């Protein structure tokens, strides 16, 4: 009791912080933080929880990570007493950071290993982004890798975009959120998960019991008994729900099980009748407990899993909303400071803003968190995959900011960008979420600035396109006698491709007297949303024979750092996914050995090649397998893939495993060169440069990195000189194993895509680079011999790629270049140093010759056109319009354009000219030129030329007075021109009569 009173006293005396004024009647931004006494309480008394005289004690073995076998959990939970349902959280308005910390400490005191959040870029190929806390543990749940700890707790950063249209419009939808989770890997199960969740919720966070509702799977009587009989939740507040709501499945087959959810009731005064837990205005689900206890088979039947698991998720933003007593998740201290920053730039006040402006500010607050953490984790805006998600979110922020009236950077510079300023606030709030974000500030802000300014230009193009669409809609309506309407597909094109807000499209259209087909727009939007949800809304798990094969196989002992050949035992043979006892000559096979010198592909380095063989008597080989690839499966089991070339290989036989030494040396050379390259890039173009991918092959290396522009030739030269200097210095490499935290504090750089344990291998080139790396490397930089960049190019927005060669591949490359240079010297009859000058002169001569030919063609076309002018005929009575439609043989497109311009000047206004030609095999060129009077009559060249070109298998466009088109069917050109002539006569006769 004394501890409880001390806790209560010091919570009352906590410091103020920045929270929304909506929960402070005086308009001051206040919140309570945990005091030093409260932290001391956790440090000294974490094995005990004291509240109203109740105690909970845990085994000291449990706290050290011991499993549950042969021991009991002493778990005392007093049944719910309606007399003790006062809101214990009323004076506990803690910050989001303290909620996260208290959750992790709560489960750490109960034997859980607190693990860091995984990257938003998952290793799992079935999803683009990390969408759930359980994703990093998927291999453990599948039984493909052994558990390293019996249970764990995390605060996982997550991204979900399937409900992006609901962001800002509801109280709870987000693209970026944190999922607090506790996980059991065959350790504790349903009873402990339920009781701890209740204790965390009602005692640790002090939520009133009479505001909590429970949902369970309709057939889960065990969960019902625990909640009602042991925890004491009244029957009327436990809702049995169907499979769609409370039975979790990973897919058509695989791990699954019932789940139980805890809901918070914002309106308990409404009572217990006609309850709908799906009513967002009253209830919010904040804690989901998944009891992963079955494997769903192909026939739909359920079989118990050998290892029952617990997977839970508590939404940090949702718990913050409850504890901080705000109307929605956005007004918590996790997001509200970002909204305030956006409000300042828009010169509005959130509290007094209208509903639409509040929604816009919430969208910006949510999306900017997602954007910052995605870019920090190496995802840059692009048109594909994860990069497209970032680009869409940035565009949504920019167009939303424009709706709010933010111009330029919001500080007076109309040519600036405002998203970097808001990102600075997100970064300032990132310390307890991801400590690496602040170190990447420069890259994040630069990427945002570049993407926003690029998109502003796109928006401006969208405005021009909208004007053209509205003009077309007005013209078509005038011809057809209908009310002008902009098609839903056109409005969606503006929205989706150009990021043009449909609200602005509607507003501008109304000013021009045009309505927007919103029904058609909504149809297009729904189609896109369905595709997005189908692609990104599930984590796929499967339990198949592959998992069973690996179940009894121990991790492979890797010997390849010290030796290239070794004796080993064949543990398993796999053919077409099935385990076999022997494999004969000519068959492809996957071989699992107990130990191996072969390096398995990881960290960008490809797997070794070589042989597995058995020799008997006089060195006669009676079994030979050629190894063409080595991969890791189920954690650290090496899978040797290849073909039996001779004999029969059997399980249990002792074999000799030998790596191809020459190829291994090529991999070592290129892997060390990759480390040197990364270090050189950081020195030459800036420390903010970071790796975005790599490939270490036997004959080359490929290195992807984040950078906003191509490297200059001088920079490439500097990089090469720096690396070759380090090679010439003959530096001895140093490798050592150390704790991950120690390696990071020493400045070691993590290789992209690698997953690290608590102990890591550090490869250091003293004075040059230090990286976490499990790959193979040279002993001395002199082994690399030489380094040469063979290409540098962009592969996505903000991502560059360097390909280079080293070692033997470097020598081969230089020799090949020298051979080709000698041939050039012979052909051009010059010395090597004069080749460039000679080629430049030849190129200039060629350019002049081409220009001369082009000029001659244009003159010829104009001469032909002058002879055609007298073929023009007159159409119309009120206005006499000269019309000319002619075929001009093989005149090229540029010359055809010049001929049309000559004829327009020669025939003068009013005139309408259409010319066609066949400049080459399978090619058609068309041009339409209409003078101002013809355009004023409502006849536009760009509209007229399209149907004509379509007859020739092509299309085109241009301006109202001048348009060009092409086609692929020359045989249809004469008929198309005849059609053009008759159409012009018909239309102009009507307009000019």
**Half-sphere exposure for 618 (CA within 13 Å, toward CB):** 0
Would you tell me how many other CB atoms lie within 10 Å of the CB of residue 135? 19
Q: What is the CA radius of gyration of the chain?
A: 35
Query: Could you say which DSSP state residue 200 is in?
Result: I
Q: Which secondary structure element, helix H or strand E, spans residue 420, and what is its range? A: helix 419-428
957: helix, coil or strand? strand
Helices 441-480 and 419-428 cross at an angle (nearest 10°) of 140
Residue 370 to residue 190: CA distance in whole angstroms: 33
918 labeled binding residue = no
CA distance 737 to 733: 14
**Which one, of 467, 432, 237, lies nearest residue 320 by Cα?**
432
H helix or E strand, kind and range, residue 610: strand 610-616
- Whole-angstrom CA distances from 399 to 64, 176, 458, 464, 797 are 52, 19, 11, 16, 20
- Return all residues near 454 (Cβ < 8 A) that are at least 6 apart: none
Return all residues near 590 (Cβ < 8 A) that are at least 6 apart: 573, 574, 575, 639, 640, 641
Residue 719 CB partners (closer than 8 Å, separation 6+): 677, 680, 681, 684, 711, 789
891-to-850, 860, 861 alpha-carbon distances in Å = 16, 9, 7
Phi, psi of 486 (to 5 degrees): -90, 125
Q: Which helix (H) or strand (E) holds 100?
A: helix 96-108
Neighbours of 416 (CB within 10 A): 16
Residue from 222, 307, 300 nearest 258 by CA? 222
Tell me the C-alpha distance between 740 and 810, whole Å. 35
CB atoms within 10 A of CB 253: 18
Between strands 254-265 and 247-249, the pairing is antiparallel
Is residue 671 annotated as involved in ligand binding? yes
Contact 259, 289 (CB under 8 A): yes
Name the H helices within 777-919. 807-828, 835-868, 893-907
Q: Are 937 and 988 in contact (CB under 8 A)?
A: yes
CB 982 within 8 A of CB 964: no
**In the chain, count of helices (H) and strands (E)?**
27, 36
* Residue 704 β-bridge partners: 693, 801
The number of residues making up the chain comes to: 993
Q: Is 52 marked within a binding site?
A: no
CB neighbours of 26 closer than 8 A, spacing ≥ 6?
none
CB contact at 8 A, 655 and 567: yes
Q: Residue 589: phi, psi to the nearest 5?
A: -155, 155
| Pairwise CA distance, residues 156 & 136, whole Å | 9
SS3 175: coil
Residue 179 β-bridge partners: 156, 315
Whether 777 has a binding-site annotation, put simply, is yes
Give dist(CA 113, CA 347) in Å, integer.
46
* Class of residue 217 by CB neighbours under 10 A (exposed 0-12, middle 13-18, buried 19+): buried
d(CA 239, CA 213): 8
Report how far residue 448's alpha carbon sits from residue 445's, in angstroms, rounded to the nearest whole number: 5
Q: Which residues are annotated as a binding site?
A: 671, 675, 773, 777
Q: Which residues are annotated as a binding site for Zn(2+)?
A: 671, 675, 773, 777
């Amino acid at each position: 009791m004394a501890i409880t009173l001390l806790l209560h006293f010091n919570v009352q005396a906590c410091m103020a912080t920045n929270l929304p004024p909506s929960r402070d009647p005086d308009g001051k931004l206040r919140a309570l933080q945990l005091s030093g006494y409260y932290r001391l309480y956790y440090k000294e008394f974490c094995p005990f929880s004291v509240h109203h005289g109740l105690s909970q004690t845990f085994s000291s073995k449990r706290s050290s990570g011991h499993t549950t076998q042969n021991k009991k959990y002493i778990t005392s939970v007093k049944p719910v007493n309606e007399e003790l349902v006062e809101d214990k959280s009323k004076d506990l308005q803690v910050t989001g950071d303290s909620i996260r910390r208290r959750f992790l400490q709560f489960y750490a005191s109960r034997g859980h290993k607190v693990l860091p959040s995984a990257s938003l870029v998952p290793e799992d190929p079935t999803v683009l982004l990390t969408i759930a806390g359980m994703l990093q543990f998927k291999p453990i749940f599948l039984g493909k890798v052994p558990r390293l700890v019996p249970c764990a707790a995390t605060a996982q950063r997550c991204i979900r975009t399937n409900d992006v249209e609901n962001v800002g419009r509801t109280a709870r939808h987000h693209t970026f959120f944190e999922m607090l989770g506790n996980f059991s890997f065959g350790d504790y199960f349903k009873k402990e998960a339920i009781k701890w969740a209740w204790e965390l919720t009602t005692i640790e966070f002090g939520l009133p019991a009479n505001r909590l509702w429970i949902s369970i799977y309709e057939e889960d009587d065990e969960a019902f008994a625990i909640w009602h009989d042991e925890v004491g939740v009244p029957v009327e507040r436990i809702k049995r729900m169907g499979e769609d709501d409370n039975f979790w499945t990973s897919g058509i087959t695989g791990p699954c099980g019932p789940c139980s959810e805890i809901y918070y009731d914002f309106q308990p005064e409404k009572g217990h009748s006609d309850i709908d837990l799906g009513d967002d205005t009253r209830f919010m689900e904040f804690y989901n407990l998944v009891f992963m206890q079955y494997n769903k088979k192909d026939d739909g039947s359920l079989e118990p899993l050998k290892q029952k698991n617990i997977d839970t998720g508590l939404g940090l933003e949702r718990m913050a909303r409850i504890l901080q007593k705000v109307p929605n998740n956005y007004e918590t201290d996790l997001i509200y400071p970002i909204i305030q920053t956006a409000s300042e730039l828009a010169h509005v006040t959130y509290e007094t803003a209208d509903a639409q402006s509040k929604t816009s500010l919430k969208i910006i607050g949510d999306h900017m968190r997602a954007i910052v953490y995605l870019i920090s984790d190496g995802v840059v805006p692009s048109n594909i995959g994860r990069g497209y998600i970032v680009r869409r979110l940035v565009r949504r922020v920019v167009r939303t900011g424009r709706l709010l009236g933010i111009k330029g950077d919001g500080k007076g510079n109309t040519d600036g960008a405002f998203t970097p300023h808001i990102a600075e606030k997100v970064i300032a709030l990132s310390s307890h979420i991801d400590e690496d974000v602040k170190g990447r500030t420069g890259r994040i802000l630069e990427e945002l600035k570049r993407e926003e300014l690029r998109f502003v230009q796109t928006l401006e193009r969208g405005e021009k396109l909208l004007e053209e669409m509205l003009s077309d809609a007005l013209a078509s309506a005038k011809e057809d006698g209908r009310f002008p309407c902009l098609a839903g597909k056109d409005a969606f094109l503006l929205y989706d491709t150009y990021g043009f807000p449909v609200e602005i499209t509607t507003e501008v259209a109304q000013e021009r007297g045009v309505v927007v087909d919103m029904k058609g727009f909504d149809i297009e939007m729904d189609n896109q949303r369905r595709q997005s949800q189908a692609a990104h809304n599930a984590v796929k798990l499967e339990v198949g024979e592959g998992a069973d094969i690996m179940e009894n196989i121990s991790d492979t002992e890797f010997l390849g750092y010290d030796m290239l050949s070794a004796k080993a035992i064949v543990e398993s043979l796999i053919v077409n996914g099935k385990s076999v006892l022997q494999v004969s000559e000519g068959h492809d096979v996957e071989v699992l050995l107990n130990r191996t010198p072969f390096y398995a592909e990881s960290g960008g380095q490809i797997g070794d090649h070589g042989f597995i063989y058995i020799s008997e008597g006089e060195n006669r080989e009676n079994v030979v397998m050629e190894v063409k690839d080595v991969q890791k499966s189920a954690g650290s089991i090496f899978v040797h893939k290849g073909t039996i070339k001779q004999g029969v290989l059997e399980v249990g036989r002792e074999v000799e495993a030998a790596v191809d030494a020459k190829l291994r040396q090529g991999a070592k050379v290129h892997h060390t060169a990759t480390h040197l390259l990364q270090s050189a890039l950081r020195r030459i173009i800036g420390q903010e440069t970071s790796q975005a991918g790599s490939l270490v092959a036997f004959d080359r290396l490929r290195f992807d990195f984040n950078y906003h522009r191509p490297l200059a030739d001088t920079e490439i030269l500097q990089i090469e000189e720096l690396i070759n200097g380090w090679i010439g210095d003959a530096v001895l490499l140093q490798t050592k194993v150390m704790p991950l935290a120690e390696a990071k504090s020493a400045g070691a750089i993590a290789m992209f895509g690698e997953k690290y344990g608590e102990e890591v291998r550090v490869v250091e080139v003293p004075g040059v680079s230090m990286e976490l790396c499990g790959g193979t490397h040279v002993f001395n930089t002199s082994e690399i011999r030489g380094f040469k960049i063979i290409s540098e190019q962009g592969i996505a927005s903000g991502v560059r790629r360097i390909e280079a060669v080293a070692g033997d591949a470097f020598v081969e490359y230089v020799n090949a270049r020298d051979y080709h240079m000698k041939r050039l010297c012979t052909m051009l009859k010059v010395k090597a140093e004069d080749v460039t000058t000679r080629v430049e002169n030849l190129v200039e001569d060629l350019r002049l010759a081409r220009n001369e030919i082009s000029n001659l063609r244009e003159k010829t076309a104009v001469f032909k056109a002058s002879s055609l002018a007298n073929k023009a005929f007159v159409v119309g009575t009120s206005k006499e319009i000269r019309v000319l439609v002619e075929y001009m043989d093989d005149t090229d497109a540029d010359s055809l354009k010049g001929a049309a311009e000559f004829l327009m000047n020669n025939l003068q206004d009013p005139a309408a000219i259409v010319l066609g030609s066949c400049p080459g095999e399978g090619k058609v060129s068309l041009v339409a030129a209409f003078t101002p009077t013809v355009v004023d009559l409502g006849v536009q060249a760009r509209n007229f030329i399209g149907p004509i070109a379509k007859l020739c298998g092509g299309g085109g466009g241009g301006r109202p007075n001048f348009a060009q088109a092409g086609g692929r069917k020359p045989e249809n050109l004469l008929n198309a021109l005849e059609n053009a002539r008759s159409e012009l006569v018909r239309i102009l006769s009507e307009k000019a009569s």
